[in-house]
Structure 1
Amino acid sequence: MVYAGHISHVVWFKPPWCEQIQDKEIQFYVGKCNTTGCIRTTCKENYFVSETLYCPEEKLENKKKVKLTVLKIVPNRWELSCNDREPASSAKQGIKVDIEIGTSLSTENDTCTSDQSENCDKIRCDDDNSSQHTKRLCTEELMKNSNSFSNNDIITTSKNLNKQLEILHKSFCDKHFILDIDLDFFSTQNPFKVMYSDKIYGMLKDLYRFDKPKNLSDEEISKCTTGRQKQLSELKAVFYNIHQDRHAEIDHPSKELILILRDALFDKEESPDFQLLHDAGCTCDDTELPHHVSSEGQITLLVSAVQETISHFHKPVMITMARSSITDEYCPPAQVESIQEQTIEMLQDLYLEINVINDYDNEDENVSKS
């Protein structure tokens, strides 16, 4: 969408446990690589480099500039909700969102209108006892606290509001934007940790280990990207050969480890899915896939925090939602229906009227809303 010219600013709100990209604001280009013909980016974050998506600016055609803002959403009382689940220190940074409803609730008129700009940007939310002390902003509470509440108002809670939200609000004030919600924001599962034993997953991490670039020079990043591409291509070829013939000759520096992994897989099942194994390996870079299966109380806290956060922006032109549960299971399948129901209820409370369009089946779990 950036390459097509539709999106110029992406705001990624991430859950407390997510560490792939640190909180920051960066600008880079997206364009077509004149060597491969593939869409690539000049972003030097390891998240993109490890996926071999980096390309120097001079090799990009039809390049478009994009701003990426990354912010962690941490609900108040989150550390208490974690207790024995995670170290409290893991959630100390980020925007602390006050979700208590009371006298601090106020409204201010939003003078922006949807036709003030043709630009369309994107805001993204992508992963006990606390629930009884928590409740969402709902229409009745809003109406009770404001006689002039309407869809054009911005609901603000002055307490604990991070300055960054105010800056973002001003940035998006005269722009159309899309709100994209992935349900794995509220509860995240690393499906490969569930699918494979610790032994097999550990071997995968060793085989697919990503050696970070020594510095951020174009030369070093390009060298790292080329090396990573070679590493992934060779491993893919090896596992393809094993898929064709269990006893295929293995020509690889890590041959001994691959043989141990192969035998462990065949001991586990008769016909292992080596394409899936390679896909799992490709996620092993300098950070693991996030894995935090939330409690019901934590999900309630996060839904409320998301509502409080997005209430500081005017109404989006479209809301898209991905269940992320059938094909990849990043959102735990046992929780996805409840999370979806709570999220839709939260959006209805916030925007009063929304038209919900379900666009998914066993093959396609995306839900889109307009």
Structure 2
Amino acid sequence: MKLRALNHIPVHVEEDHNEVLKHIYKNIGAKHLPLENNTLVHFDSHPDLLIPADLAPSDCYNKYQLFEKISIENWILPGVFAGLFRTVIWVCPPWCNQIKPGVYNFKIGCDKDSGRLAVSCLESYYISEGIYKPDHKLENAKDLRLIVLRLDENINQLELKDCIQNVKDQIDEVEHYILDIDLDFFSTLNPFVNLYKDANLYPQLKELYTYKPIPEHLEIGEKMKLGEEFGAARQKMLTTLEGIFTFLSQNESIDRYEGEGEEYLPSISRIVESVGKHYPRADVDWLQIHNAGCTFDDSELPHHISSKQEILNLMSSVEKLLSYLEKPPTVITVARSSHDDYCPPFQVEEIQSSVLNLLQMKYPATKISLDYQEDDE
């Protein structure tokens, strides 16, 4: 496909991060980006590299069905399976540890056993979601190269040199790439930290839901075997806990619960007692409490409200990295992430203004579209 050169760089600003995918599709359809194997440079406090639970593999080939089923944490991998992306570079701030820095080459494909999408990456981020499968159990698999770069205040540190060079080499290999920035890269909230805070809920959920990862020292074959076993056990646990909290949402107490998960009842009873002391039953959303618990694996959602100086330092680091890459992006997408509180609402406008000013300084030919304002009209 012969691409059409643009005389400007489109910048699409959306509120929810998954909304940027439609702009990437539009630019592919308009022949501004390649039809497949694109490179995505993704600045974010979160990887966004999960898979929607109700997504059938065939949904990835129907963009309208796809847009309906993706959300902020899982909009990228369906694009990999559909062939849009071949390389994803996740650039995260210093406080993020969901996936260790490094280079990962793995596959996403259709699990022969379940018919659902799965990945062959042995990181806890995937095992704890129950979506790990070894290569030989995946059909119609697509390759993904994931580069994870944790961007500290000084991007010239020796320990970052190799990973930064990997990013530079990747950009040098392609004629086009997509630059994607979530404003929560610069400052981020974990919206669940203060959920029913008076009941001291968050640490109790952490104790109940936290997942113990596969030991690092094991041989790869043993890790693969345990990856499936741990993933299946984790999914059984989460399904059982969802059933218990669903029961709670429909009944006055947990006393009459009969079903799997008896081992979890003492912990849940303590949670019920703590929450009940401080909040009227009518005000308690038990399924929201379960969803908050599901955010724990062997880590938790990042929570770091940055000072103005920290934001300035990160802005400088981003500018340095973009300068080092030299090549300008073909398309830029930006997510505000303030309605869901992942970017602190009281900081979002200032961060957005700084990011857009940085982009205009680096790439004078930018054309900014505040698409989220059109969505609100």
Q: Identify whether the pair has TM-score above 0.5, normalized to the shorter chain.
A: yes
Q: Give SS of 1:331's match.
A: coil
The one of 33, 57, 79 equivalent to 2:111 is 33
Within the alignment, does 1:244 sit opposite 2:256 as a pair?
Answer: no
1:164–1:222 Cα change, 3 Å: closer
2:233 aligned residue: 227
CA offset digits 1:15-63 (Å, max 9, x no partner): 0111122211111101122333322111000111112221222221110
Q: Give SS of 2:169's match.
A: helix
Within the alignment, does 1:323 sit opposite 2:344 as a pair?
Answer: no
Contact preservation (8 Å) 1:31, 1:40: yes
Q: Give SS of 1:69's match.
A: strand
Query: Aligned runs of 1:300-319 on 2, under 5 Å?
Result: 300-313=312-325, 314-319=327-332
Q: Give SS of 2:132's match.
A: coil
1:105 aligned residue: none
Query: Aligned runs of 1:37-48 on 2, under 5 Å?
Result: 37-48=115-126
- Give, in whole Å, the separation in 2 of the partners of 1:237 and 1:160: 45
Q: CA deviation at 1:362?
A: 11
Query: Aligned runs of 1:95-244 on 2, under 5 Å?
Result: 95-96=155-156, 162-175=161-174, 176-197=176-197, 199-214=200-215, 215=218, 216=220, 217-244=223-250
Q: Give SS of 2:80's match.
A: coil
Q: CA deviation at 1:339?
A: 0.6
Letter paired with 1:272: V
Within the alignment, does 1:263 sit opposite 2:278 as a pair?
Answer: no
Q: Pairwise CA RMSD of aligned residues?
A: 2.2
Letter paired with 1:48: Y
Q: CA deviation at 1:268?
A: 2.0
- Give, in whole Å, the separation in 2 of the partners of 1:304 and 1:68: 24
1:63 aligned residue: 141
Contact preservation (8 Å) 1:96, 1:161: yes
TM-score, normalization by structure 1: 0.72
Contact preservation (8 Å) 2:338, 2:344: yes
- Give, in whole Å, the separation in 2 of the partners of 1:70 and 1:240: 37
Q: Give SS of 1:32's match.
A: strand
Q: Give SS of 2:296's match.
A: coil
1:253 aligned residue: 263
CA offset digits 1:47-97 (Å, max 9, x no partner): 111122212222211101111111111124xxxxxxxxxxxxxxxxxx337
Letter paired with 1:70: V
Computing the radius of gyration from Cα coordinates, the structure with the larger value is 1
- Give, in whole Å, the separation in 2 of the partners of 1:161 and 1:353: 30
Structure 1 stretches lacking a partner, 5+ long = 77-94, 98-158, 365-370
1:355 aligned residue: 367
CA offset digits 1:206-239 (Å, max 9, x no partner): 2112122244522111000000000000000100
1:134 aligned residue: none
Within the alignment, does 1:272 sit opposite 2:311 as a pair?
Answer: no
Q: CA deviation at 1:167?
A: 3.9
1:303–1:63 Cα change, 3 Å: same
Which structure has more relative contact order (CA 8 Å, sep 6+)? It is: 2
2:85 aligned residue: 7
TM-score, normalization by structure 2: 0.70
Q: Give SS of 2:143's match.
A: strand
Which of 340-349 and 245-254 deviates more? 245-254
Contact preservation (8 Å) 2:196, 2:275: no
Q: What is the aligned length?
A: 284
- Give, in whole Å, the separation in 2 of the partners of 1:260 and 1:362: 46
Contact preservation (8 Å) 1:73, 1:96: no
Contact preservation (8 Å) 2:88, 2:146: yes
- Give, in whole Å, the separation in 2 of the partners of 1:265 and 1:229: 26
- Give, in whole Å, the separation in 2 of the partners of 1:218 and 1:54: 9
Letter paired with 2:251: D
- Give, in whole Å, the separation in 2 of the partners of 1:321 and 1:51: 27
1:264–1:315 Cα change, 3 Å: same
Contact preservation (8 Å) 1:13, 1:73: yes
2:43 aligned residue: none
Q: Sequence identity, in percent?
A: 36
Q: CA deviation at 1:271?
A: 2.7
Contact preservation (8 Å) 1:50, 1:210: yes
Structure 2 stretches lacking a partner, 5+ long = 1-78
Which of 225-234 and 46-55 deviates more? 46-55
1:148 aligned residue: none
- Give, in whole Å, the separation in 1 of the partners of 2:347 and 2:246: 34
Contact preservation (8 Å) 2:195, 2:201: no
1:265–1:96 Cα change, 3 Å: farther
1:363–1:42 Cα change, 3 Å: farther
1:161–1:287 Cα change, 3 Å: closer
